[in-house]
Structure formats: C-alpha cells, structure tokens
Amino acid sequence: MTETTTPPAFVPQPARIPADQLVSDVGIAERAAEFRAAPLRGPYATLRVIQPEDYPFLRTLETSSEVATRWRLRGTTPGPEQWVQSLWNGVMVQFVVAETKTEKPIGLVALYAPNFQEGHARLGAGRFDLHSRNPVMIFGVAMFLEYVFHGWNLRKLYMDLPEYNYPQFSSGLGRFFDIEGRLREHTFASGRYWDELTLAIYRDRWQSEGARLLGTEASKFGAAANATVGGAA
C-alpha cells in the first residue's frame, strides 16, 4: 500500500520592496493643505441648489414672463411634471444665482450634456430680469465656471444661444470666450429666423482671465454691485 502525503499549504509571502522604492509620506501633508473647494458664496453672489419650493417660481418665469420665449422652452408650456423633468434632463449640476446680501434670486446657471471622453460640456446661464444691469449675475456665472473647472477635468464649455440673446454676453468675446460655430437662420422666433451661435469657454483661458475677474476686478464691480443690491435689479 502506497503512502501519500499532503503537500504543505501555500502561504504567499509579501514581496520585499527595496527601501528606495517605498512610497514616502514626506510632503503629503503639505500637498493636502493645498486642497480647496470652489466657493459657492461670495461677497456679492451666492450659488444655491434648486429646491422643490423654487419650482413654482421658476416654472412661472419660464412659461409666462418676458424670458419665456428667450429660454430653453421657447414659449412652450409643458405640464408641471413634464416641466420638472425638462429642468433636470441631462443636467450635471445646476444652481440658482442669488444676491448674497438680500438672498434675492436673479438667475440660473447649469452644466449639462457632459462628455468626459472628449473633455467638454454644455453651459446654460440666464438672468431673470432681462433689463437688469446688476453685475452680481456676472459674479454668479464666474463663480459657477470656477466651480466647474475646479471640480471636473473639462477642457472647454460650449454655450448655444440664438443671436438675439448674444448682446448680454458680447462684452466677453475674445477675453472669456470665442464664437466657434454659427448655424444660419436656424431658430424661428419673433416672426423671423435667427442664427444660432456656439460660444466656447476654454479652461486655460479661464484660469488666467477668470482669476482676474474674481479677484482683481472684484473691487471695480463692487461699488456697482453694492449700489444695485437691495434696489431695483
């Protein structure tokens, strides 16, 4: 009768890593101290998350006010449930822009249709009062751009708009954005056809010009913001 023996159980041994290849924790604390979150509240503008109690106000604004034909619905009036779905369809992040001092909502900003493989997404921004010259909305959009570029590795943001909405953004041409596309007579509104423009905001340009707007130029706009906050915006 042949005697059999059970081989000893295999016990894996930890690999021996040369001391010069070990990951060092030197500098980790210093690098960790560099982490910062993009601010959602500034001295003039605040970005706040949309709450269900905002829905009636936003729906009324989008369907029955002066901005109704200028915004995404273009004059259509979806039902309450359909409107809520359309508000969040394809949206990655969205905030109400409010005046910090009064908490008065003055606009909406959104990032939607992100494409992380190609490194771009769509930007939406709208002011509730089309006749307002309140610079707080400028800071709100700037804070949102900082929030987006600080939080996600996107190289540029596209903004699609009919040409009749372009004048409120035109001052940023060449500094904050370029016009990358134009669809001739693409949109029908106000009894005629209008061109559709595609604006592009680049990460590298924003990192220099955006910092200047949020920092150095804050003092220039501060007096105007303080003059309009709490008054007719």
Tens of pLDDT, residues 95-116: 999 999 999 999 999 999 999 9
Report yes or no on whether pTM surpasses 0.75: yes
Take residue 60 and report the two structure tokens written for it. 């009324």
Take residue 113 and report the two structure tokens written for it. 């249709």
Q: Residues 6 or more apart from 218 whose CB is under 8 A from it? A: 43, 44, 139
Take residue 24 and report the two structure tokens written for it. 């060092």
Rounding to the nearest 10 degrees, give the CA dihedral for residues 27, 28, 34, 37: 170
CB atoms within 10 A of CB 55: 14
Q: Residues 6 or more apart from 96 whose CB is under 8 A from it? A: 47, 48, 49, 50, 54, 105, 107, 108
| Residue-level pLDDT at 215 | 75
Q: How far apart are CA 214 and CA 39, in angstroms?
A: 11
**CATH, domain range 39-228:** 3.40.630.30
| pLDDT single digits (tens) 12-29 | 666 666 655 555 666 788
